[in-house]
Structure 1
């Protein structure tokens, strides 16, 4: 019984130690980031998944985030914008489709597939993230839970 307890403790500690080790940002990712955002300041990296990295940084006086794959492929760049910066078609569509919702935050998301305008909205206890293309067409509607909110 003591041997099993000792073995369990060793496995648990070893597992926790392995979990706590943070991987370094791949060189290709850093090179691609520096090429795309040469003036970036205060860069902080997080690993989003096994093969995706996200940089949070300041650029041109604004806070941004950008995602890159392990091989340096750029995936997405996001930054917050003011409500008045949403294109008219997006604002109109947002207000028509989500009447009585309060707009909590909005951002622009640039990807290889184009630009999306993402908004976090709330009505009562219901919180959603919605995304529109430049024409004002709804492209995504996702229910937010406490874990999903920034």
Structure 2
């Protein structure tokens, strides 16, 4: 099942890259805003995130980041993966107390104009969830992820 998810993710990324590179040009306002906010960014790759938003994937300080900007160059969000050691104690406690015996698959820090949250993809048995927790330990998002079922999949 995870192999199928990876294949689907790669195909979607390829389609988005093809869409972006097949005529869609990153607006100059977006490029300028990005360069101003992230002057040390390296290996920048752009994708069209939605009809009105662009996403840059890049490296900075030996870490991989993504940042989103609106068509008019307004910064929306920056994300990057973090390790458990980077989590505040309040966030660790909220995750452990709120989701006992769940396994963390991925953790990121997300910075927006509204503030900073720690985002997690967690799983337990057949339950997959996306959770966001602010620095004070308040759970700001708790959403079940739906698995696509495939009758031929015997994993």
Category of TM-score, reference length = shorter chain:
0.7 to 0.9
1:117 correspondence with 2:128: no
Rounded Cα–Cα distance in structure 2 between residues aligned with 1:76 and 1:119: 16
Aligned length: 129
Counterparts of 1:108-147 in structure 2 under 5 Å? 108-145=109-146
Rounded Cα–Cα distance in structure 1 between residues aligned with 2:72 and 2:90: 36
Could you state the TM-score of these two structures normalised by the residue count of structure 2? 0.79
Q: What secondary structure is seen at the aligned counterpart in 1 of 2:92? A: helix
In the TM superposition, residue 22 of structure 1 has moved relative to its aligned partner by 4.0
Could you state the TM-score of these two structures normalised by the residue count of structure 1? 0.82
The 3 A distance-change label for structure 1 pair 30 and 97 is: same
Equivalent residue, structure 2, for 1:81: 82
Counterparts of 1:39-78 in structure 2 under 5 Å? 39-78=40-79
Rg larger in 1 or in 2?
1
Gaps (5+ residues) in structure 1? 1-18
Gaps (5+ residues) in structure 2? 1-17, 149-155
In the TM superposition, residue 146 of structure 1 has moved relative to its aligned partner by 5.2
Name segments (4+ residues, structure 1) moved above 6 Å.
none
